[in-house]
Structure 1
Amino acid sequence: MTRLDIAGLAVDLAGVPVLRDVNLAVDPGSVVGLVGPNGSGKSTLLRTIYKSVRPVAGAVFIDGDDVRTLSARAAARRTGAVLQDSAGTGGLTVSETVALGRNPHHGLLTRESTSDREAIAEALARTGMTPFAERLVNSLSGGERQRVLLARALAQRPRLLVLDEVTNHLDVRARFELLELVRGLGVTTLAVLHELDLAVRCCDRLVVLDQGRVVAAGPVLDALTSEVLHDVFGVHATTIRHEDGVVRITYGAQPLATRDRVAAAAATAE
């Protein structure tokens, strides 16, 4: 299994600092959730990991290898990505879409091999999409389409998965089913999750980003404390592990934090 390490990472986009001094580690086989407010740099961090964005400082290491030293093809063989934008797959069948995951293993004139067919069949089976292989992707439900995109990434036979809000626009059941599927893959995974309730339930560890910096990281209960929920997300809440072993967020009677009013009152008092 693969280990991901990020050391001192800094990224600018159009001259604007987006990430600063990001350090984190994802242990082999674990599922780590990346959470934070909108604009905190979560998606940019993922894009840097799969070499879509070049950092201005620091490095990303996969099993000790700096991804900047890898060719685009070699990097794609190691890291499978499932992104928010699934455009461009609607006119293809499920099987054809999943087969795109084998592109990093091909040269310009390479034909589909036995190894390719085995990887595609395995990816379809692992995601439960084998019965849909000849269906057009645009005929599927949202949850089914996300499974297709996950199968495409798995067809790469990656060492690492990066997932960017893969549960967006899915109903409650589809969200849980997809994340339970990811947990069962046994592939090292870093997943951006917008919904904190899903993140605390389905991840081994959490990394909290705020304004481009890591402000908390570790096991769920250690990373998502009442203080972090208040200061970063602006809510009054606690995380509790219940008797069934599941971590849940409990919100206060007045769930929204009044940090702006408190700051204004403090400034007035000074």
Structure 2
Amino acid sequence: MRLDVAGVGLTLGGTPVLDDVRLVVRPGTVVGLVGPNGSGKSSLLRTIYRSLRPSAGAVLLDGTDLWSLPVRASAQRVAAVLQDGANPSALTVAEVVELGRTPHHGLVSRTTPADREAVETAMARAGVTGLAARPMASLSGGERQRVHLARALAQRPELLVLDEPTNHLDIRARFELLEVVRGLGVTTLAVLHELDLAARSCDQLVVLNRGTVAAAGEVLLALTPEILREVFGVHAKAERHSDGVIRLTYAADPLADL
């Protein structure tokens, strides 16, 4: 599924938050949304998972305006994993993942074999099958994030939206989670706070600054020394190393004058 953010604007309480934001996430790719704090990243995601209606422009899923769809239909197509997602400690992992099937149920629907298959597949893809019977309260932060990812996958979404999924995780858990995401083959837009992880894990990047797109495209085109200096306030460069991995190198005096 293709996501097009077409000239999206957003005003909250009379204050412009987003202005003519345009980006494309092509089917099956992982696009990272990066930018300084307060640049509008999470607000943009909220227009995509239908928490905030855009003041201008449109969010298109394969050419269909997301906000024209019934709520249930959009929930079947778009799944979100939020950085401050609820952690229902009284539920087991399997019960939390089963919540992802809610958009596919009517008022009196019961769990079907198709639901059980979707839950089992989602847990396997997120690597939490062995945790199925454990209560959420017993899990580490990285394990909980993988459970929330499994819940989202149980929706069988066409678009996955992640808001700082690696927040508060240790370095190993961050790599593990992003490796899982990259292996899913689901069209994904992810807000990532760490530029090094974003450069390593994403097919393309969109750099947001003060509510507008400052750069977009392949990682090395989006993270130029000029963008790193002007948007992020650091002297640095992104380079592809001999192992194929893109890494950021910071100057001895990394702070730029703003």
- TM-score interval w.r.t. the shorter chain? over 0.9
Trace 1:52-91 onto structure 2 (pairs within 5 A).
Answer: 52-91=51-90
Residues 1:174 and 2:173 aligned together: yes
Q: How far did 1:150 drift?
A: 0.1
Q: Helix, strand or coil: the match of 1:100?
A: helix
Shift of 1:122: 0.4
Aligned to 2:256: 257
TM-score, normalised to structure 1, is 0.94
Report the counterpart of residue 129 of structure 2 in structure 1: 130
Q: How far is 1:75 from its partner?
A: 0.6
Paired position in structure 2 for 1:208: 207
**Over the residues paired in the alignment, what is the CA RMSD in angstroms?**
0.7
Q: Which residue of 1 aligns with 2:140?
A: 141
Could you tell me how far apart the structure 1 residues matched to 2:157 and 2:14 are?
A: 32
Separation in 2, partners of 1:61, 1:91: 37
**What amino acid does structure 2 have at the position aligned with 1:176?**
F
CA deviation string 1:208-252 (max 9, x = no partner): 000000010000000010000000000000000000000000000
Gaps of 5+ in 2: none
AA in 2 matched with 1:234: G
Matches within 5 A, 1:94-173: 94-173=93-172
1:95-117 deviation per Cα after TM superposition (whole angstroms, max 9, x unaligned): 00000000000111100011100
Amino acid at match of 2:120: A
Secondary structure in 2 aligned to 1:117? helix
Cα deviations across residues 195-215 of structure 1 (Å, max 9, x unaligned)?
001000000000000000001
CA distance in 2, matches of 1:258, 1:6: 32
Report deviation, 1:90.
1.7
Higher-Rg structure is 1
| Distance in 1 (alpha carbons) for counterparts of 2:121 and 2:111 | 15
In structure 1, stretches of 5+ residues that fail to align are 260-270
What's the offset of the Cα at 1:88? Answer: 4.2
Contact between 2:9 and 2:21, CA under 8 Å: does it hold in 1? yes
* Counterpart for residue 225 of structure 2: 226
Report the count of equivalent residues.
Answer: 258
Matched residue type, 1:68: W
**Structure 1 segment 44-59 matched on structure 2, within 5 A:** 44-59=43-58
For 1:246 and 1:82, locate their aligned partners in 2 and report how far apart those are by CA, in whole Å: 26
Q: Which residue of 2 aligns with 1:5?
A: 4
Corresponding residue number in structure 2 for 1:194: 193
Residues in 2 aligned to 1:13 and 1:74: alpha-carbon distance in whole angstroms = 26
* Percent identical residues: 67
Alpha-carbon distance between aligned partners in 2 of 1:107 and 1:88, rounded to the nearest angstrom = 24
Tell me which amino acid in the other structure corresponds to 1:13. L
Residue deviations 1:49-83 (CA, integer Å, cap 9, x gap): 01111011100001111011101111110011000
Give the drift of 1:85: 1.2
Match of 2:34 in 1: 35
Secondary structure of residue in 2 paired with 1:21: strand
User: Following the alignment from structure 1 to structure 2, what is the Cα–Cα distance between the partners of residues 48 and 76?
Assistant: 13
